[in-house]
Amino acid sequence: MSAPALDITGLHFGYGRKAVLLGIDLKVSAGEIVALIGPNGSGKTTLLQCAGRLLKADRGEIRLLSRPLSGLSRARIARYIAYVPQVSDTLYPMTVLESVLLGLEGERWRYRPADVERAVRQLARLDLLHLAQSLLTEISGGERQKAAIARALMRETPLLLLDEPTNHLDLRHQRDLIRILQRRSREMGQGILVVLHDINIATQLADRIALLHGGRLLAEGPPAEVITRDRIHTLYGVETGIVRDGSIPYLTGFS
């Protein structure tokens, strides 16, 4: 049995005296998509950043393919993890194609024709090819988000970390991204940990869902088992309806 792409055990993290994560245990297997859900301030982004070593955990262990994260160099981590943060306001005067090519290992400035072909394919999959020569400063927030995702997909890392990747995307592009990520995990065996606010997107996308509440995991498992009215009420303090399409639960409204 292969080692999990990501294995988090007993993770604690706080900002000064404010404890945010209180003993998180979470695994992401190769070829699996895990969605992390919770209310604002529950520590979802913090957990993602600890997994990518952008933040150093106070206690606990994080392993990538059985290797302790704490013992890996930045260069080695970059070979294991591709990370897409929420869209940053920091923009550089480069074209969309140039920004996607930066996803290649080493961020080299001279690219082979095969590199450009790969980048063009990623742009086409994300409906960005017509913007290849546009500057990042001249496209919308949703288009910049898709460019950041295309950049991460250029790298064939064992683990992909995504923070709110559907932000600013319309319904069609949300659907397309779900299909791209599911194909990526199944065909390449990439483990994916994704932070989402939209529960209905999470139930369509993920193999497992982890609910984060008060610094701890409230529940984790297949969407059909995890998403219940009681748990949604615990997380958000609202009453909601739930319908099921086969094994996929959907929220139908709240009060």
**DSSP assignment of 115-157:** HHHHHHHHHHHTT-GGGTTSBGGGS-HHHHHHHHHHHHHTS--
Give the pLDDT band of residue 109 (cuts 50, 70, 90). low
Place of tokens 């994300």: 126
What does the pLDDT read at residue 230? 96
Give the pLDDT band of residue 106 (cuts 50, 70, 90). low
Q: Which domains does the chain have, with CATH numbers?
A: 6-90+157-254 (3.40.50.300)
What does the pLDDT read at residue 48? 96
Could you tell me if 184 and 155 are in contact, meaning their C-beta atoms sit under 8 angstroms apart? Answer: no
Give the pLDDT band of residue 103 (cuts 50, 70, 90). confident
Phi, psi of 228 (to 5 degrees): -130, 160
* Average pLDDT of the segment spanning 102-115: 73
What does the pLDDT read at residue 255? 79
* Average pLDDT of the segment spanning 162-190: 93
Residue 234: is its pLDDT beyond 60? Answer: yes
Residue 108: is its pLDDT beyond 60? Answer: no
Residue 90: is its pLDDT beyond 80? Answer: no
Residue 43: is its pLDDT beyond 70? Answer: yes
Residue 203: is its pLDDT beyond 90? Answer: yes
Of the listed ranges 42-51, 52-61, 86-95, 97-106, the least confidently predicted one is 86-95
